Structure 1
């Protein structure tokens, strides 16, 4: 039985929902070209010898008028990000073909010991000030950042004594409105009084059924139909002195899908979609509602601007609890024991402490910034089935790391950055038994008693980069960075075919990322180009075991390469245009075979046009085009396996508009404006079950208003 949470704020939201309106936190802003993520140094983007994507507040607000799903926002804004999966799962939505580390204010949100692909949806986007994305492996953040880093930077208090924002919006399918109406409610309070600054936000999203371009209900696996998301965010900052501050942050996120529908399985090889129909009278949904049962982050930060000469200190302590419930699946059954199916949950509890010192040194016309410190983390993760069976045993990880990062500004033209991180990780696992799981009466896995023990990992990773600011028109860079990645141990443990964990191929991998590119400012045109190549000694892909019907991990060397380009052009004070293109490809170099869609996305082009009608009204349009990718051959029956399905191109256009009237803001957005009938790229490629064969949503309207006082 799914646990319930007695949260006072939910009652407040429900009471206010008829009168709350969607609030925009800012008026038009210029693009703020700053980043603090890549090397923990606050710096201008034109100094960074790497490819960085910054999503500012205005862009976030425009996307929120269409949909509150962060997956969609990132897919449109980040060239190297795979297209949105159209679901609550980001499984298969990689960054440059590798796993990405998702953080909230620098605190990791993923569960790398058992990667469930749910890290992107960890807080409500109304709590986000901006999003910083580092593209490519980064050594400075440690395990999990093989493809890069997504850092959600949360809202800061306003300078007013108190500012209240109330929001309400309503969404509905434009193809068939029946049962599709949902709402979004946000209540926020922030301000500064004396030495205290505060931000508090309550939000709730309630979805009706989602419908595709034909008006059919989308399949339920990782679905949003009849789901509810709730978020409580609190940030308190207190100035102890002019140069010392304390900050407390708490975020609670809960999501569940409790739909009284059942899936009608499709077959993507035959072009058949999986869709949902109402349950028969008297039937009840299988299993517990899927989604996060109540994930929370608790963070405490202390800052001292000058703990000693020219040196600042930041101390971060955090705790996190994750309880993600997955969909009910017949493949987790064992009829011999009376289980017709099963449902799993990833449970993870983290506690961490970070200490960072930043020293600034001037040596003639050379200015140096040194960042050095320590990261400590304990992570206990498991994946049981809700019926009591243990699928992935408890993994107890202790991680200790020290790092140093330097930045050298030589004259006015050159920036050199270099750093290193020493990581030591220890994971302990008790003795356990793998499960006997049956896809049919004739196709079952063989249970194995596995002796536990300890797995130790350590590595030193390096990074170095150079940027030359020749002129505004041409500012090239080159960089080399390594990322340390422990494999998905939970996946390896639950599919073990040996009787001792020391015999499992669980070695960690160092991902080496090489990149070159440039940025350019030509009057009203700003653009970036980057080429990259990354290699790893032991990547992980899945291969079907025909005897058991189980997909087993294969460890082999991998190489991934690609290029990206993005541009912004201010045509006039009224018109602003942008476009971005991302291409990635990769191979298992041992077998000389292409990597599947679980890692490598189809090429992608995005474009947008923003038109400021006048000082109070803006209209924006976003276009996503996904190109073809067809690298694999079907079997004799014409079917594909794993993640090797061909991807056919498709287009999605979104439209948003807003109008300001004093303290009121009226807004509307349409997702899939032209009602494109398509399967998302992940749905086209994956063959892990019929639940992935779900089409994208048809034309959907979101309309609302905001009031600020």
Structure 2
């Protein structure tokens, strides 16, 4: 029962990528003390957002790079990586201020997250990707903005590529201790803290690195001093403990080779006494904010556990080519917040709690072959094998009701989504050619094929049926060719114009279709074409003495839409989509200047049209964020201390259709958040960093909260009020 779907038209985006290297301007705005990209020496295997980074041709897409110092400073005012990136990366929506990435689109579409080349996205997306990365172990972040199929499925909006801290070099030990407290409600409940240790060096012919981290996350308090409620739709990590461990071991092989293995483990586990008070949810939407309710009795709360192993080899001279090979394995477990789903037929009408198990194994091959002085070929392939399932625990509804939603006594465990196996294979080639000293071109092609399979199962929608329907197991196949092309032109020194066409794609959320299956469901009749996007972009980047700036205008189109939610259930909605947008950055000053300042602007508009619709309509706020502006000013009078003031403004927008609210379609109010970061070098080995998030103690709800992810006021969770962070770092 296998079906072949031709994807030249439907999946055609895997094609390769013409992508980029980043305008310096797009980077400078990130944080004080930004260094450029770190040196790519033989002792460090680096995975970049652009797979063909030869420097032969200037990039035809924008990319934002953040180094370790930038991320470290950003954590002083944003405890999550999603928050750090939202304040630094044009095109990226503001963060939810919770555990989830849901709604944090990149140019209105999804982003592929790679950590040392390992994909963190899964086919049944749990939207907990960025939270699974320990920011303390990040060496650099590259955000490629624009659809790409360079690494396969998932990058319809771009790629977020993270490299962790490298092994080797002179011995280095680093300890950082951080304390965090609410300034709007100083109390023991609001205390948080973290301790991180890192060591690296070389001994006995081996390079090594190891990191360990512990973190306690306390309660959050809004600007009025009220405790923030738990977020019942996607979850949070109030009153949680986080552990992370990692290590790398590398060794040179001959004159040109380097072999490296790595292991990492990350676990976040919540243990709170608070649940979301259901009372605000009974009021009209927007009439109240979420409130916490003490007395929660739940054995297993929000949890994330990620275990990753990699083995990488690079040889810079294999018959004249630079060859890199990566093999990886990832084991992911995530548990969500309980939910009263007695009104949701596809979940079996229970009070339940979903959790997801996923294992991923795969490999990548990248070969860079020079073809003379002006031409280079990058080619290779990938394979990825994923197995996922989603059980759910069912709780006693009588105990739940009698306690007002506080007591969860587990009765049994059922299968919500059956075990689903997804295998993808791809091959690509990318050519770069320098026509003249000022003009470069590049073009690429990629072929992908994918197969998903599952065994027969009885969906939860049939759990209360006298004669339940059994969905027959089966398989579905996809294949696709995708393409890209781009060119750059430097008309005068210091200024570049670029234009590009690229394709990206997203495999359909097959697990979503399976868990929503009803009577009569057949994989052969399901609407499972992948999301293919065509992306068109033109831009400029340049420098005028002390000022660097960039501008990009883009359009993306697709014949099929992404996952949306209706009536407390996720639905794979097949609508044609069109997104237009512009991004701009400006920065003044060099790293050694006393004063530096700059900012970014991002504006998007999006329209969707159903197959039977007469005209298009605006897309939801979870896909198309409001206008986002960022600004910063840095004062560094000497090498001993510096201070940075930064702000983020999210504009208001009415997402309702004809004044009617629905999921992701509500009126969103504007807000502005100002942060302060100060650093003082106590000695050559010691540094003190002080940060105040939300310096003006503004009471506001992030876009995510205003859109009501849970469709009631229980999702209207305000952001933190003024919050103080103090860190002491010691290099031994």
TM-score under structure 1 length normalisation: 0.89
* Alpha-carbon separation, structure 2, partners of 1:428 and 1:187: 43
* Alpha-carbon separation, structure 1, partners of 2:694 and 2:606: 30
* Alpha-carbon separation, structure 1, partners of 2:345 and 2:35: 61
Tell me, what secondary structure is at the counterpart of 1:269? coil
Deviations 1:148-190 (A, max 9, x none): 1001111123521x21111111101101122101111001111
Note the C-alpha offset of 1:338. 11
Uncovered stretches (5+) of structure 2, i.e. residues with no partner: 1-30, 40-45, 394-411
Is residue 174 from structure 1 mapped to residue 183 from structure 2 by the alignment? Answer: yes
Give the equivalent residue in structure 2 for 1:275.
291
* Alpha-carbon separation, structure 2, partners of 1:336 and 1:159: 55
Q: Cα RMSD over matched residues?
A: 2.5
- Residue 599 (structure 2) aligned to one of 579, 600, 603: 579
Deviations 1:625-660 (A, max 9, x none): 00111132477xxx7221111111001111111111
Is residue 53 from structure 1 mapped to residue 64 from structure 2 by the alignment? Answer: yes
User: Are the counterparts in 2 of residues 376 and 400 from structure 1 also a CA contact under 8 Å?
Assistant: yes
1:542-581 equivalences in 2 (<5 Å)? 542=564, 544=566, 550-570=569-589, 573-581=593-601
- Residue 205 (structure 2) aligned to one of 177, 192, 195: 195
Tell me, what secondary structure is at the counterpart of 1:126? helix
Is residue 502 from structure 1 mapped to residue 507 from structure 2 by the alignment? Answer: no
* Alpha-carbon separation, structure 1, partners of 2:692 and 2:318: 51
Note the C-alpha offset of 1:318. 0.5
Give the equivalent residue in structure 1 for 2:161.
151
Is residue 511 from structure 1 mapped to residue 536 from structure 2 by the alignment? Answer: no
User: Are the counterparts in 2 of residues 300 and 316 from structure 1 also a CA contact under 8 Å?
Assistant: yes
Is residue 471 from structure 1 mapped to residue 492 from structure 2 by the alignment? Answer: yes
User: Are the counterparts in 1 of residues 555 and 581 from structure 2 also a CA contact under 8 Å?
Assistant: yes
Note the C-alpha offset of 1:448. 4.8
- Residue 726 (structure 2) aligned to one of 693, 703, 707: 703
Note the C-alpha offset of 1:287. 5.2
User: Are the counterparts in 1 of residues 346 and 515 from structure 2 also a CA contact under 8 Å?
Assistant: no
Note the C-alpha offset of 1:544. 2.9
Note the C-alpha offset of 1:44. 4.9
Give the equivalent residue in structure 2 for 1:20.
none
Tell me, what secondary structure is at the counterpart of 2:52? coil
Note the C-alpha offset of 1:278. 2.4
Note the C-alpha offset of 1:329. 0.8
Deviations 1:5-36 (A, max 9, x none): xxxxxxxxxxxxxxxxxxxxx99454349996
Give the equivalent residue in structure 1 for 2:633.
609
Note the C-alpha offset of 1:473. 4.1
* Alpha-carbon separation, structure 1, partners of 2:290 and 2:34: 43
1:108-507 equivalences in 2 (<5 Å)? 108-111=119-122, 113-157=123-167, 159-160=169-170, 162-178=171-187, 179-193=189-203, 195-221=205-231, 222-265=235-278, 266-267=280-281, 269-279=285-295, 284-286=296-298, 288-292=300-304, 294-308=305-319, 310-331=320-341, 341-362=351-372, 367-386=374-393, 387-436=412-461, 448-497=469-518, 498-507=520-529
Deviations 1:567-619 (A, max 9, x none): 21117711111201111111113430111022111110011112113211111
Give the equivalent residue in structure 1 for 2:560.
538
Uncovered stretches (5+) of structure 1, i.e. residues with no partner: 1-25
* Alpha-carbon separation, structure 2, partners of 1:685 and 1:260: 26
Is residue 622 from structure 1 mapped to residue 624 from structure 2 by the alignment? Answer: no
Tell me, what secondary structure is at the counterpart of 1:622? strand
Is residue 89 from structure 1 mapped to residue 100 from structure 2 by the alignment? Answer: yes
Structure-2 change in CA distance of 1:336 and 1:322 (3 Å): closer
* Alpha-carbon separation, structure 2, partners of 1:601 and 1:45: 36
User: Are the counterparts in 2 of residues 140 and 420 from structure 1 also a CA contact under 8 Å?
Assistant: no
* Alpha-carbon separation, structure 2, partners of 1:538 and 1:65: 40
* Alpha-carbon separation, structure 2, partners of 1:213 and 1:683: 15
Note the C-alpha offset of 1:103. 0.7
* Alpha-carbon separation, structure 2, partners of 1:451 and 1:167: 54
User: Are the counterparts in 1 of residues 230 and 276 from structure 2 also a CA contact under 8 Å?
Assistant: yes
Deviations 1:416-472 (A, max 9, x none): 11111100000001122222399xx9xx9x975322211111101111110112224
Tell me, what secondary structure is at the counterpart of 2:341? helix
Tell me, what secondary structure is at the counterpart of 2:275? strand
Note the C-alpha offset of 1:43. 4.3
Tell me, what secondary structure is at the counterpart of 1:58? helix
Note the C-alpha offset of 1:540. 2.4
* Alpha-carbon separation, structure 2, partners of 1:447 and 1:474: 66
Note the C-alpha offset of 1:332. 6.1
Greater mean deviation of Cα atoms: 428-437 or 614-623: 428-437
* Alpha-carbon separation, structure 1, partners of 2:481 and 2:342: 39
Note the C-alpha offset of 1:87. 0.5
Structure-2 change in CA distance of 1:244 and 1:457 (3 Å): same
Note the C-alpha offset of 1:220. 1.3
Structure-2 change in CA distance of 1:334 and 1:131 (3 Å): closer
Tell me, what secondary structure is at the counterpart of 2:107? coil
* Alpha-carbon separation, structure 1, partners of 2:655 and 2:352: 34
Structure-2 change in CA distance of 1:33 and 1:95 (3 Å): farther
User: Are the counterparts in 1 of residues 47 and 163 from structure 2 also a CA contact under 8 Å?
Assistant: no
User: Are the counterparts in 2 of residues 332 and 437 from structure 1 also a CA contact under 8 Å?
Assistant: no
* Alpha-carbon separation, structure 1, partners of 2:658 and 2:229: 25
Structure-2 change in CA distance of 1:603 and 1:437 (3 Å): farther
Structure-2 change in CA distance of 1:205 and 1:610 (3 Å): same
User: Are the counterparts in 2 of residues 603 and 627 from structure 1 also a CA contact under 8 Å?
Assistant: yes
* Alpha-carbon separation, structure 2, partners of 1:543 and 1:355: 37
* Count of residues in correspondence between the two structures: 662
Tell me, what secondary structure is at the counterpart of 1:319? strand
Note the C-alpha offset of 1:335. 12
Note the C-alpha offset of 1:693. 1.6
- Residue 529 (structure 1) aligned to one of 541, 551, 558: 551
Structure-2 change in CA distance of 1:114 and 1:543 (3 Å): closer
TM-score under structure 2 length normalisation: 0.86
* Alpha-carbon separation, structure 2, partners of 1:69 and 1:352: 28
